[in-house]
Amino acid sequence: MGLARGSVTWVTGAGSGIGRACAIVFARAGARVALTGRRLALLEETAAMILRQDGPPPLVIPADVSNPHAVTAAHRTIVDVLGDPLVLVNSAGGNVTRRHWRNLAPASASEVIDLDLKAMFYCTLAVLPAMRARCGGCVVHIASQAGVSLQTVSGPSYSAAKHAVVAMSASLNAEEGIHGIRSICISPGEVDTPILDTRPSPPSAAERQLMLQPEDVAETALFCASLPPRACVTDVVLLPTDDRHGRERARAIEKLATAQRPT
């Protein structure tokens, strides 16, 4: 399989949400996981969850991956302690509450782009040389439905960053596939994670129950990374079965069809 037991997986944004779920799922599959995020306490919670499931002891490395120097230092620590990552899961991300053109500040736009796009570049650039040298490796980018279609709830900075992540992943495959490097871009629809709390109007508990869960995205990432090295799932759009964005239209169609039903 593409993911060898005992191989090193580096997960960013590992303190919560999709990143935490990816760390747990990859560790359960036998990977030695390095956990990176900005908040040490949350990373330690993730590490404890992995240990409770008898996974290999994870390496906890607090770092702000939107800072290129912090990425370099974190990567160096991973290599020194665990070895070169075979898999990188770029999951760190975030958004701001005042996110739309009417109230978006330049500093807020920069903050979102730094974390949701630049950080993925920095971490990918860090792992590429060793992947080229071994002629193999896998980079999983957690993008968004906002990166493959227009989702106004996300705001322009987030949408622009995620569209760019999709393009970045495609260019990585175009250039590095000859070196055995696979880039997998997963674009989930709404996922019940803490990032939803930053929305101007956070969704209700009932709405969250219909959304994807972080484990759904993590299992998808593991499946794609575990395929034989000759196979690359370049793009995945993973949506809730009952997707909010199409729900109103579907109900209108159903209402019209019911009204037209012959008596």
Q: What is the dihedral of CA 232, 181, 76, 13, to 10 degrees?
A: -20
Fill in the DSSP letter of residue 192.
-
In a domain, 107, yes or no: yes
Give the tens place of pLDDT for each residue, 236-251. Answer: 999 999 888 777 778 7
For 172-202, the pLDDT digits (tens) are 999 999 999 999 999 999 999 888 888 888 8
Residues 62 and 54: their CA atoms lie apart, in Å, by 22
> Among 176, 171, 169, which residue's Cα sits nearest to residue 147?
169
Task: Look at residue 1 and tell me if it is in a domain.
Answer: no
Q: Look at residue 132 in the predicted model and tell me its pLDDT.
A: 98
The string of pLDDT tens digits covering residues 20-73 is: 999 999 999 999 999 999 999 999 999 999 999 877 899 999 999 999 999 999
Residue 233 C-beta-side C-alpha neighbours within 13 Å: 18
The verdict on residue 126 lying in a domain is yes
User: Hey, what are 251's tokens?
Assistant: 């109900």
- Domain count along the chain: 1
Whether 122 is a known active-site residue: answer: no
Question: Domain for residue 40, yes or no?
Answer: yes
Domain encompassing residue 47? 8-260
With bands split at pLDDT 50, 70 and 90, how would you rate the model's confidence at 1?
low
Q: How confident is the model at residue 6 (pLDDT cuts 50, 70, 90)?
A: confident
Q: Choose the weakest-confidence range: 2-16, 61-75, 118-132.
A: 2-16
CATH number at residue 141: 3.40.50.720
N- to C-terminal Cα distance for the chain? 57
Which tens digit of pLDDT belongs to each residue from 63-114? 999 999 999 999 999 999 999 999 999 999 999 999 999 999 999 999 999 9
**Residue 186, pLDDT score:** 98
**DSSP string covering 45-94:** HHHHHHHHTTPPPPEEEE--TTSHHHHHHHHHHHHHHT-S-SEEEE----
Does some domain include residue 164?
yes
Q: Which residue has better confidence, 67 or 263? A: 67
Residue 168 covered by a domain: yes
| C-alpha dist (Å) from residue 219 to 19, 25, 30, 216 | 12, 7, 14, 5
Instruction: Specify if 3 maps to a domain.
Output: no
3-class state of residue 11 by DSSP: strand
Which of 10, 26, 122, 158 is an active site residue?
158
Q: Is residue 2 part of a domain?
A: no
- d(C-alpha 263, C-alpha 261), whole Å: 6
